[in-house]
Amino acid sequence: MEKRRQIILRFALIFIAITLGFLLVLAQIVRLQTVERKKWLSAAPNQEAVQREIAARRGNIYDSDGRLLAGSLPRYTLTWDSRVEALHRGGDTLFYHNLDSIAAGLSRIFRDKSAAAYREQFKTAFRRHDGRMKIQPYPVSYTEMKQVKALPLFRRNKYTSGLIIEESHKRIKPFGNLASRTIGGIYGETGLGNSGLEKRYDRLLAGEPGLSERRRVAGRTEYVTIDEPRNGVDILTCIDANLQDLAETMLRRQIEAIEGEWGCCILMEVQTGEVKAICNLDRTSEGTYREMINHAVKRYEPGSTFKTVSLMAALDDGKINYERDTFRVYKDGWKYQDAVIRDAHPADTVYHVIDALAVSSNIALAKIVTQSYEGKAARFAERVRRIGICDSIPCEIPGAEPALLADPRDMATLAKMSYGYSVEMSPLQILTFYNGIANNGKMISPLIVKEIQENGKTIEKFESQVLKQSLCKSNTLHEIQESLHAVVWDNELGTASVLRWNGKIVRRKAQSPLVHIAGKTGTAQVFENGRYSSRHHRIVFVGYFPEEEPQYSCICVIHHPHQYGMYDAGLNCGTVVRQIAEHTIAYTGITDSEELEIPYDSIDKPRVKGGRLQSIHRAAKGADIRVGKAHADWALVEPDMQIRPVVTEEGKIPNVLGMSAMDAVYAIEQTGMRAQIQGKGRVWKQSMKAGEPVLVGQTVWLELR
């Protein structure tokens, strides 16, 4: 019985203890939920498992030889945590023992302040137990980071030294502005591609971010990696940095000389379609040029470069005979329905088919197309579409615009379409068509990206697509190629052949003694404010080389030259393509680059008109002609290219003999007199002698020859 009472007593004591414990726990819960509620709610966020992304390294973009066009340069933020326990052991001896060496080392590495200043910075942070002292206010380079890590104390791990290194990446372009619109860019903080290849391949270049979590490690809180990021892939392009630099240099030189509003140039391999260079230059408000808009993939009216398409359609349909047919043109133009069609080189003559393309006759091409498709305007548009030039071409550049070719609403529209109006194509599409002519009729898509690589291994490879196995019949192709040859090599009619002065050849435009080029010029009036402007033009030359075995095709477009009268497509754009062709052939090893230097003295120079000295030098620069120098506002240029200043006296009639019409009229009317001109060329006679007193309101007659 006694034993039973003892057992009951024990159970009672245990029950009481459990009940008291439960009541204590319950009381503590009530206390936490009432008295200490605010305290623990405010502390709760610090106890949560906080995670954040670790940015992946963005992939690089390379040229065809592996040279970096755009890449992510590592940058490192250096901070110091003075609260690390190891620094405070043994009377802070570890810290103070290395302080002087750290201060001297940082001063030597960054050269921004003295060792004493660094010593004071670290001492202050140590006394305050600063957990995030920035060693440098801005991210440092990889080399600087490695030098800092080599300093005493910082050689140790971060749990002993307190040195914290955080890596970030800065996007750089080692070649600067070169091909920048094609390569593209990224938005600042987001790192997302906003244009060019950076935008097209943004997802692949960006990679996949990793994940880190905030944890307590060695008595302090820090982020620990729990999922490593996967870095972005690398893009290998077809662009050759050397050829890209060459194309941009030649385009820049010409566009600056004639003060174009914008220009673009593309160089492509004939058989592979690989784009070796693609440059776009826009005139800034300061008058300089840089890449701003990718005009290479924007569509514009192609002008006379479309005449080749028109001729190909008519020949292939058997509408005209290449050998026998001729077409009469007229000096005063040809009236067709309600429109008068004029030629850039007016003449009363008869052209064979080959001559019509060589001289780029609007009248002849309009006659060819209107006679071939009389009453069937829509059939011509359909025939052009079958050639394939209006098909969408694969292009890695975002924003590439498709060609625009609507059915002509009437025969007058058809006539205009025959020589490049009422149709729109991008420079890249025009080049793709001419590249097909060079490639024995096989039109292939242009190719800008050739490989995608990950960790140095190719994971995807690209090749050009065949857009059209044959542009036309083989005999038609041969006739078109012969016509494009005449554009450059017919010295009487070819618009890209030679520039003559007094019967002598002074400039060879697209002709080269080093490489044979075939191609086509184009000049189009710019459509603005609801009409075509007779003062604003877009000039083009597109061709391929070497003509015998084409390896490259090239196009140069310059929009709205501001320099008065400078819109000769063969002279301005043809010269750019010729220079690119000569240097490309030398660069690829076919021709010795020393052969490219043609003695300047062996070139016949044109007579340069007199006028304002600033204008003389600008015009001479655009034509690669060297003239003398002088201190004068007005001048004449002697046959030996020396400058003869024109001295003007106030109140006296100036001597304008030898000047251009524009400058002569300006000089006369500056005195208050009037000027009337007869003829063309330079001023041959003036009705009132130079040096006589000015008679305000009197008319001076100027005869030009």
pLDDT at residue 392 tops 90: no
Per-residue confidence (pLDDT) for residue 308, from 0 to 100: 96
| 6-10, 13-17, 491-495, 653-657, range with the lowest pLDDT | 6-10
pLDDT at residue 598 tops 80: no
Average pLDDT over residues 202-209: 87
Average pLDDT over residues 137-151: 89
How many angstroms separate the CA atoms of 432 and 416, rounded? Answer: 23
pLDDT at residue 372 tops 60: yes
Strands (DSSP E) contained in 387-530 are 443-444, 449-454, 457-461, 466-468, 499-501, 504-507, 518-528
CATH of 241-589, picked from 3.65.10.10, 3.40.50.300, 3.40.50.720, 3.40.710.10, is 3.40.710.10
Rg (CA), the chain: 38
Q: What is the pTM of this model?
A: 0.73
Higher-confidence position of 44 and 11: 11
- Residues forming a β-bridge with 237: 449
Per-residue confidence (pLDDT) for residue 681, from 0 to 100: 64
Helix (H, G, I), strand (E, B) or coil at 164: strand
How many angstroms separate the CA atoms of 377 and 375, rounded? Answer: 6
| 268-277, 525-534, 678-687, range with the lowest pLDDT | 678-687
pLDDT digits (tens, 9 = 90+) for 558-581: 999 876 556 789 999 999 999 999
Task: Quote the tokens at residue 136.
Answer: 């440098």
CATH of 48-67+175-237, picked from 1.10.3370.10, 3.40.630.10, 3.40.640.10, 3.90.1310.10, is 3.90.1310.10
How many angstroms separate the CA atoms of 667 and 336, rounded? Answer: 42
Q: Report yes or no: 493 and 487 within 8 Å, Cβ to Cβ.
A: no
Per-position b or e across 531-568, b if 16+ CB within 10 A of its CB: eeeeebbbbbbbbbbbbeebbbbbbbbbbbbebeebbb
Q: How confident is the model at residue 600 (pLDDT cuts 50, 70, 90)?
A: very low
pLDDT at residue 596 tops 50: no
Per-residue confidence (pLDDT) for residue 529, from 0 to 100: 75
Average pLDDT over residues 201-218: 78
Q: At a CB cut-off of 8 Å and minimum separation 6, what does 174 contact?
A: 67, 68, 69, 71
Q: What is each CA distance from 508 to 149, 322, 511, 541, in whole angstroms?
A: 63, 27, 5, 14
Q: What is the DSSP string of 503-553?
A: TEEEE-TT--SSS--EEEEEEEEEEETTEEEEEEEEEEEEEEESSSS--EE
* Segment of 139-153, 270-284, 551-565, 675-689 carrying the highest mean pLDDT: 270-284
Taking the CA atoms of residue 641, residue 643, residue 644 and residue 648 in that order, the dihedral angle to the nearest 10 degrees is 140
pLDDT at residue 151 tops 70: yes
Q: Report yes or no: 290 and 281 within 8 Å, Cβ to Cβ.
A: yes
pLDDT digits (tens, 9 = 90+) for 45-101: 555 567 777 778 888 999 998 888 988 878 889 999 988 888 888 778 888 888 999
Q: What is each CA distance from 42 to 29, 37, 186, 221, in whole angstroms?
A: 17, 9, 40, 18
Q: How confident is the model at residue 30 (pLDDT cuts 50, 70, 90)?
A: confident
State residue 604 phi and psi, 5-degree precision. -70, 130
Q: What is the DSSP string of 555-599?
A: EEEEE---STT---HHHHHHHHHHHHHHHHHHHTTSS-GGGG---
pLDDT at residue 698 tops 70: yes
Q: At a CB cut-off of 8 Å and minimum separation 6, what does 214 contact?
A: 49, 50, 51, 52, 221, 222, 223, 224
pLDDT digits (tens, 9 = 90+) for 126-137: 988 888 899 999
Q: Report yes or no: 210 and 227 within 8 Å, Cβ to Cβ.
A: yes
The domain locations on the chain are: 48-67+175-237, 76-172, 241-589, 611-704
- First-to-last C-alpha distance (Å) of the chain: 149
Q: What is the DSSP string of 275-307?
A: EEEEEEEEE-TTS-EE--S-GGGS-B--GGGGH
In Å, the largest CA–CA distance within the chain is: 155
Per-residue confidence (pLDDT) for residue 407, from 0 to 100: 86
Q: At a CB cut-off of 8 Å and minimum separation 6, what does 529 contact?
A: none
Average pLDDT over residues 606-618: 60
pLDDT digits (tens, 9 = 90+) for 664-686: 777 777 777 777 777 666 777 88
Q: What is each CA distance from 571 to 137, 237, 500, 692, in whole angstroms?
A: 55, 32, 11, 41
Sheet architecture: strand order including 51-54: 51-54, 210-217, 220-227
Per-residue confidence (pLDDT) for residue 249, from 0 to 100: 93
How many angstroms separate the CA atoms of 201 and 193, rounded? Answer: 8
Q: What is each CA distance from 666 to 562, 672, 699, in whole angstroms?
A: 18, 10, 13
pLDDT at residue 282 tops 90: yes
CB atoms within 10 A of CB 629: 10
Average pLDDT over residues 391-402: 86
How many angstroms separate the CA atoms of 490 and 510, rounded? Answer: 11
pLDDT digits (tens, 9 = 90+) for 470-513: 999 999 999 999 999 999 999 999 999 988 777 777 788 999 98
Q: How much of the chain, in percent, has pLDDT values that exceed 70?
A: 85
Q: How confident is the model at residue 448 (pLDDT cuts 50, 70, 90)?
A: very high
Q: What is each CA distance from 293 to 8, 75, 523, 674, in whole angstroms?
A: 95, 30, 21, 45
Per-residue confidence (pLDDT) for residue 442, from 0 to 100: 96
Q: Report yes or no: 425 and 403 within 8 Å, Cβ to Cβ.
A: yes
Per-residue confidence (pLDDT) for residue 677, from 0 to 100: 75
Q: How confident is the model at residue 601 (pLDDT cuts 50, 70, 90)?
A: very low
Helix (H, G, I), strand (E, B) or coil at 64: coil
Report the chain's mean pLDDT, rounded to a whole number.
Answer: 84
